[in-house]
Amino acid sequence: MRLWLTLGGLLVLAVIGGGAIWWMFLSSFGERQLLASQERLQEQGYTLQYAAAERGGFPLALEWVVHDVTLTHPGDGIGQMSFTGRAERVRFVSAPWSPQEVTFQVEGQHRWEADSGGDAGIVDITVDQTSGTIGPQAETSGWRAETQLAGITASPRQNAAGDLTVRDAVVTAETPLRMDALALDARLEHIALPQDFGLGTVIEVLRLNGDLRPLPADYSPAGLRAWQAAGGRLTVADAQLRFGPLDGGASGALALDEGLRPLGDMTVRVQRPAELLALAQQRGWIDQNQVPLYAMAISLFTRSNGNGEPEAVVQVGFRGGGIWLGPLRLADLPPIAAD
């Protein structure tokens, strides 16, 4: 009996000791990953700094608390704006038996300063709450990150009509292990605008679900030309916008031609288009004499959708530096980046 008790005690000690060693290994591995992230970001022009990183949570959790975090980019004056982000603390937590599944939370409000490069000058951005998860994708090799944000406020320092606020935002990003593509699903709700641009002051829903393949090295004209030559494409699985009387969406695929102008086709859907036409007439966006023509055109593309509401569906083409509706060229399009 004493022998079995001794063997049992030794086994328990071995399990506890092995678990402690495993916890220490994973905890130090997390710090090494943080350092590796700094190096990868540095290669892309970003600077990630922090004052200290604490480890804790033993034995049932792996926990890292990173203090006084800053992320900066100097900008390139062309496609990448300069910015600085600061957070007092960021907490990462995972389980020892599943260390690749990590939850994170920014404790307290974090702030950003971004140079818009336009009339607004520097824009101060605050976010009240940020949390999310990082882990492997469920059905393929690669990584998946989901972030929930609440209480976003953007305040231009100059030429400002007021603040822009976003009540809630959820952003999900997926990338393969080689990180040469990005699938993004971003949904923002209750965006309060600083002024009425004709459709009201609150965007109820703005959503973009699509993927970008491959990822551009940067968004300068040279980077976009390299992306275009590599067959770069933005595929929009679903885009949604509910903004006053405008309730619509779009799907399709876009690339760039050799002049860095949009190239591709999109299917655009607008619910209750007659209401939008009435607003355009009221606001004077279209001439009174053109109203019957627009009404006839809308009727040609309008059908009842699954909810029994009238919905106009049109195919919009982008080619030759213009926007096309069938054989009709609606407008010219400049390059999206110029030297």
222 in the same domain as 172: no
Does 33 lie in the same domain as 154? yes
pTM of the model: 0.83
Based on the fold, state whether residues 171 and 260 are members of the same structural domain: no
Do 238 and 153 share a structural domain?
A: no
Question: Phi-psi bin for 29: left (phi > 0), alpha (psi -120 to 50), beta?
Answer: alpha
Count of domains forming the chain: 2
The range of the structural domain enclosing residue 112 comes to 16-179
Quote the tokens at residue 105.
Answer: 């939370």
pLDDT digits (tens, 9 = 90+) for 231-274: 999 999 999 999 988 899 999 999 999 999 999 999 999 898 88
Q: Is 160 exposed, middle or buried (0-12, 13-18, 19+ CB in 10 A)?
A: middle
Which residue is listed with tokens 């203090």?
A: 67
* 172 shares a domain with 252: no
| The domain boundary residue, chosen from 122, 156, 179 | 179
Do both 236 and 339 map to the same domain? yes
Q: Which residues contact 191 (CB under 8 A, 6 or more apart)?
A: 164, 165, 166, 167, 202, 203, 206
- 270-305 pLDDT, tens digit per residue, is 898 888 888 878 887 777 787 787 788 778 788 888
pLDDT of residue 267: 94
The two structure tokens encoding residue 303 = 């059908």
Alpha carbon distance 201, 264 (integer Å): 31
Q: Which residues pair with 189 in a beta bridge?
A: 168, 205
| Domain-terminating residue out of 133, 159, 179 | 179
Residue 91 lies in a domain: yes
